[in-house]
Chain A
Amino acid sequence: MLFFNFSLQLFAVPEGKSGPQVIEMLTKRAIALGAVLSGSFIVDCETYSSTASLGAPRSVHLLHNSETPASVFALLEAASGNKTVALVADNLFDLLMLKLSNFYTAKKQTKIESRGPRFEAGDFLVKLGSVTMGPAFKGILVEVEYQACSLPAACWDLIREFMQGFLGGCVPSTPPPYIQVCSFFLLPSRFGDMLGTIDGINQYLEQFNAFRKTTGIR
């Protein structure tokens, strides 16, 4: 089972440093805090757009997370304004997306992913991801998850203190907006857990979209 009480933090790459150098530096800091390396992770995202024949434009973002390897997250941006429908499905959904190629096609050169080492520190989970779009390095995303608590609002201060411990001053002092709007945590059913993971995926999508809009390294 997975929890979604995590914070995704952009770590600005300092001038004159390369991505791997920053990752190495953060790894050292995390280990100094007591974190233990436990494998690596990858989150990737591909975006499909509707063809003109379907009328109003829509796009489907297909995300995978190595933390939930059997699932695909399909986030559909509806034609009507700001609604997003988040579907969690088996990984055969990828195959269906190929079948839909008459109506939805993948945007060229927009496949984006964040991959890197994964650490465990007490009840914290830390993932240091280098973001790449195609061959280009775009920046660094740090994911911190406090697994013991499922109430984002309750443990934000805790997470912030932890992040400040190894990210330094770039951590904001106010909770990110998603914490206030996050409304579907702890649904009783199995879907509750499934939908829960979507919250994290949403954060990744937001960051990925921001990366796509900027040229160069963020």
Chain B
Amino acid sequence: MADHSSKLDIVQATAALKSLRSLRNNVGTLFHSLTEGIGLQSGQDSKESRFVAELQQQLVTVQSGVKEFEEAINNVDSVQVNLGNSGHLNQDCTPDALNLYESLVTSYRWTDNLVEYSGYATTLLSQNALKRSTLIHAKRRRIQPSSQNVPPHTIDNVINSVCRSLGDNVKIETFRPYGSSTVLQITLGKIMKGIVVLKRLMVEWVVVKGATEDLIEDGKIDMWGESRYKVFRKVTENANAAMLHFYSPAYPELAIRSFLTWFNSYQSLFTSPCKKCGHHLHNLLPPTWRDLRTLDPYHEDCKP
């Protein structure tokens, strides 16, 4: 653990930098008046003595500036990173060890910052309870095992049973391209396609595209590219909102079932008019929002 005294003190450091700057400035003035010299009318005593006096005064300013700077530097200097025995790496003179000390210090600082920031984050988070689910408090103990570790075949079973209950127009294919995370490719008839990335049984990411757009690029599923069409970009946005709404680690199975049922309601994306205004089009888009409970279609601006 790093103790906080070894952190670089910003106030001190700024003060030191400031005094360095004024020192530089003073030295600059000194050299400037030196190069200017006495001036054209030499031989006049008063002028010469005045010049010397001026110079003297400037030298004094520089001197005090140096003192000030040294003091400031001393204050900052306490910022030595305490590396214990590894600090001796500094003295190692073999060429390939030269960078070690530097990177050691850098990573030390990094870890230090990390600890500090996470400390702040914890305080902030405990002040503002951001809960994705209302159930999390009551049943915290029981939930964790069920949502954290789900074997792939259980996921497949759940998905298959949901898929069957949704009817013939939905096709769900599962992939596991990157190890344990499941990727669902959902085809809603000839209306649209979606990619849903799961973490265990919880939805992590949704992308929606048109029925004629390709989801697979160079043999890989394209999870990040967005649709060419405005309507599906909007649906993607809404699906991500719904994903957050349905998120429930307590009942992951229920959550995915509700999400997929909601998603399935987009079968009527182009056919059913908005429940509120009764029109198909608003801002050249069909009703892209589906009510989370009733699954009624609404335009973006007609949402209840």
Please determine if A and B sit in direct contact within the complex, based on CB atoms under 8 angstroms apart: yes
- Seen from chain A, the residues whose Cβ lies within 8 Å of a Cβ on chain B are 1, 3, 33-34, 121-124, 146-151, 154-155, 157-158, 161-162, 165, 185-186, 193
For B250-269 the 0/1 string (1 means CB < 8 A from A) is 00000000000000000000
What are the residues of chain A within 8 A of B283 when measuring CB–CB?
A: 34, 122
Whether B191 sits at the interface, judged by CB under 8 Å, is yes
Q: How far is the CA of A25 from the CA of B273 in the complex (A)?
A: 29
For B229-259 the 0/1 string (1 means CB < 8 A from A) is 1111000000000000000000000000000
Given A148-B210, A157-B270, 5 further pairs, Cβ under 8 A: A123-B231, A124-B284, A150-B210, A151-B211, A155-B270
Q: Are B190 and A150 in contact (CB under 8 A)?
A: yes
Q: How far is the CA of A3 from the CA of B285 in the complex (A)?
A: 18
Q: How far is the CA of A158 from the CA of B191 in the complex (A)?
A: 14
Interface residues of B toward A: which range? 20 to 34
Q: How far is the CA of A89 from the CA of B91 in the complex (A)?
A: 77
Whether B279 sits at the interface, judged by CB under 8 Å, is yes
Q: Are B191 and A33 in contact (CB under 8 A)?
A: no
What are the residues of chain A within 8 A of B271 when measuring CB–CB?
A: 154-155, 157
Q: Are B190 and A157 in contact (CB under 8 A)?
A: no
Q: Are B229 and A158 in contact (CB under 8 A)?
A: no
Q: How far is the CA of A34 from the CA of B281 in the complex (A)?
A: 12
Q: Are A33 and B284 in contact (CB under 8 A)?
A: yes
Within B188-214, the residues touching A (CB, 8 Å) are 189-191, 210-212
Q: Within the complex, what minimum Cβ distance (angstroms) separates B297 from chain A?
A: 12
CB-based A-B contact count at 8 angstroms: 63
What are the residues of chain B within 8 A of A1 when measuring CB–CB?
A: 212
Out of A3, A148, A157, which one reaches B231, CB within 8 Å? A148
Q: How far is the CA of A128 from the CA of B283 in the complex (A)?
A: 21
Q: Within the complex, what minimum Cβ distance (angstroms) separates A145 from chain B?
A: 12
Closest to A33 in B: B284
| Contact sample, A vs B, 23 pairs, CB 8 Å cutoff | A3-B212, A34-B283, A34-B284, A121-B284, A122-B230, A122-B231, A123-B285, A124-B284, A147-B229, A149-B191, A150-B211, A150-B212, A151-B189, A154-B270, A155-B270, A155-B271, A157-B273, A157-B280, A158-B270, A161-B279, A161-B280, A165-B281, A185-B190
Closest to A155 in B: B270
Q: Within the complex, what minimum Cβ distance (angstroms) separates A35 from chain B?
A: 9
Closest to B272 in A: A157
Out of B232, B279, B281, which one reaches A148, CB within 8 Å? B232
Q: How far is the CA of A149 from the CA of B266 in the complex (A)?
A: 13
Q: Within the complex, what minimum Cβ distance (angstroms) separates B286 from chain A?
A: 6
Q: How far is the CA of A144 from the CA of B200 in the complex (A)?
A: 45
Q: How far is the CA of A158 from the CA of B270 in the complex (A)?
A: 7
Q: Are A158 and B286 in contact (CB under 8 A)?
A: yes
For B65-107 the 0/1 string (1 means CB < 8 A from A) is 0000000000000000000000000000000000000000000
For B220-232 the 0/1 string (1 means CB < 8 A from A) is 0000000001111
Q: Within the complex, what minimum Cβ distance (angstroms) separates A74 from chain B?
A: 25
What are the residues of chain B within 8 A of A124 when measuring CB–CB?
A: 284
Closest to A165 in B: B281
With A1-B212, A3-B212 in contact, is A151–B281 under 8 Å at CB? no
Q: Are B191 and A154 in contact (CB under 8 A)?
A: yes
Q: Are B229 and A123 in contact (CB under 8 A)?
A: yes
Q: Are A149 and B270 in contact (CB under 8 A)?
A: yes
Q: Are A122 and B285 in contact (CB under 8 A)?
A: yes
Q: Within the complex, what minimum Cβ distance (angstroms) separates A143 from chain B?
A: 17
Q: How far is the CA of A124 from the CA of B230 in the complex (A)?
A: 10
Q: How far is the CA of A123 from the CA of B271 in the complex (A)?
A: 16
With A149-B191, A150-B211, A186-B212 in contact, is A162–B270 under 8 Å at CB? no
Q: Within the complex, what minimum Cβ distance (angstroms) separates A57 from chain B?
A: 38
Q: How far is the CA of A33 from the CA of B231 in the complex (A)?
A: 17
Closest to B231 in A: A148
What are the residues of chain A within 8 A of B211 when measuring CB–CB?
A: 149-151, 186
What are the residues of chain A within 8 A of B230 when measuring CB–CB?
A: 122-123, 148
What are the residues of chain A within 8 A of B286 when measuring CB–CB?
A: 158
Q: Are B281 and A162 in contact (CB under 8 A)?
A: yes
Q: Are B280 and A158 in contact (CB under 8 A)?
A: yes
Q: How far is the CA of A147 from the CA of B209 in the complex (A)?
A: 12
Q: Within the complex, what minimum Cβ distance (angstroms) separates B17 from chain A?
A: 54
What are the residues of chain A within 8 A of B229 when measuring CB–CB?
A: 123, 147-148
Q: Are B191 and A123 in contact (CB under 8 A)?
A: no
What are the residues of chain B within 8 A of A162 when measuring CB–CB?
A: 280-281, 284
